[in-house]
Homo-oligomer: A and B are copies of this chain.
Amino acid sequence: RTMTSFTSRISPNERTSLINNAFEAKRGSYSPYSKFPVGAALLTADGTIIKGANIENASYGGTICAERTAIVKAVSEGNRSFVGLAVVTDVASAISPCGMCRQVIREFCALDMPVLLIPGDYPKQPDGEWDSKPGMTEGGVRETTLGDLLPDSFGPEHLDLPRK
């Protein structure tokens, strides 16, 4: 059986590095309320990897997810160009970013930017089940893109449209 092929702009080395960094990032999670630690790793155009973890808040609404932590950290340090994102949780399947994170990522990333959703028990062995699903790649990593996660997105250009 052949693994789903996926044309990606990230190299195998970068993929490995993103996955490792996402796991490392997860150790920085502060998630006493959800008990759902998440780690994210963001690859910049110049090859730097920036990590983020979810930081929860007693108000719940003040919670900032791993993906957004990585983005605001990266952008505030001067990075504006990103080529890949990886996300991992403690759950044994690929978990998708929430809509808030998709929107914040959207501000800075191309719609075809690869997003790797890593199962918490990576690397999974092929079992004929997960690995036959579309988008599934080595080790049980689901590979998607920002555009696939946030179709018909709202973005900066819409604020510039003329009002009636």
Bound-state CA distance A148–B83 (Å) is: 24
Q: Which B residues are in CB contact (< 8 Å) with A56?
A: 60, 107
Complex Cα spacing A49 to B55, Å? 19
Q: Which of B55, B62, B148 contacts A100 (CB 8 A)?
A: B62
Contact present for A104 and B57 (CB under 8 Å): yes
Q: Does A158 contact B (CB under 8 A)?
A: yes
Interchain CB contact under 8 A, A151 and B153 = no
Judge whether B62 and A64 touch: CB under 8 Å: no
Q: In the complex this chain forms, how many copies of it are found?
A: 4
Query: Digit string of A53-90 for contact with B (CB within 8 Å is 1, else 0)?
Result: 10111111111111011011101111010000000001
A158: chain B residues at CB < 8 Å are 58, 91, 95
Is the CB–CB distance between B33 and A60 below 8 Å?
A: yes
Q: Is the CB of B69 within 8 A of A76?
A: yes
- Interface size on A (CB < 8 Å)? 69
- B96, A153: Cβ atoms closer than 8 Å: yes
Which residues of chain B are within 8 angstroms of A161 by Cβ–Cβ distance?
A: 91-93
Does any Cβ of B come within 8 Å of A121's Cβ? yes
Known: A76-B52, A121-B164. A103 touches B156 (CB 8 A): no
Interface residues of A (CB under 8 A from B): 25, 27-30, 32-36, 51-53, 55-66, 68-69, 71-73, 75-78, 80, 90-93, 95-104, 106-107, 120-121, 144, 148-156, 158-159, 161-164
